[in-house]
Amino acid sequence: MWREEWYVPPRLQDITVMFGSPKFNYLPPVERVRAIDRQRLEEVILILQDIPLSMIDRSGLDFWSLIRRLTWHVPPAPVRLLTQFKSDPFEVWSWNSKIQDKSRQRAQRDWS
């Protein structure tokens, strides 16, 4: 995956190595990250435009594939949009981990 042209590896400080070592030792330029995110946002727009036509003549379990397509493509879209405006897109991509850590800390405190 790290050889794909659209792949942007995380910063080393944003990962926890569980086995071996990271297979990358570089970060692409900020403008490259923004270009990749912009391109992926344009792909989401096409998917979202196609969804209404995909719903015609569907029922029951057929909606599962439609929901799966949405959950795979749409959730990263807000982060991709924020990377266009923030000075450090790598920092924006790390927010999810930081939010999870704070949520865990709060849950542990509340349950203690």
How many domains does one find in the chain? 1
Q: Is residue 10 one of the residues assigned to a domain?
A: no
Q: Is residue 70 one of the residues assigned to a domain?
A: yes
Q: Is residue 13 one of the residues assigned to a domain?
A: no
Q: Is residue 4 one of the residues assigned to a domain?
A: no
Give residue 37's pLDDT band: very low, low, confident or very high (50, 70, 90).
very high
Q: Is the pTM value of this prediction over 0.85?
A: no
Q: Is residue 81 one of the residues assigned to a domain?
A: yes
Q: Is residue 17 one of the residues assigned to a domain?
A: no
- Interior angle at CA 67, CA 62 and CA 69, nearest 5: 105
Q: pLDDT by residue (tens digit) across 43-93?
A: 888 888 888 888 888 777 888 888 888 888 778 888 899 999 999 999 998
Output the pLDDT for position 104: 85
Which residues make Cβ contacts (< 8 Å) with residue 39, sequence separation at least 6?
Answer: 6
Segments forming the whole domain that contains residue 88? 28-111
Numbers of helices and strands, H then E, in the chain = 4, 0
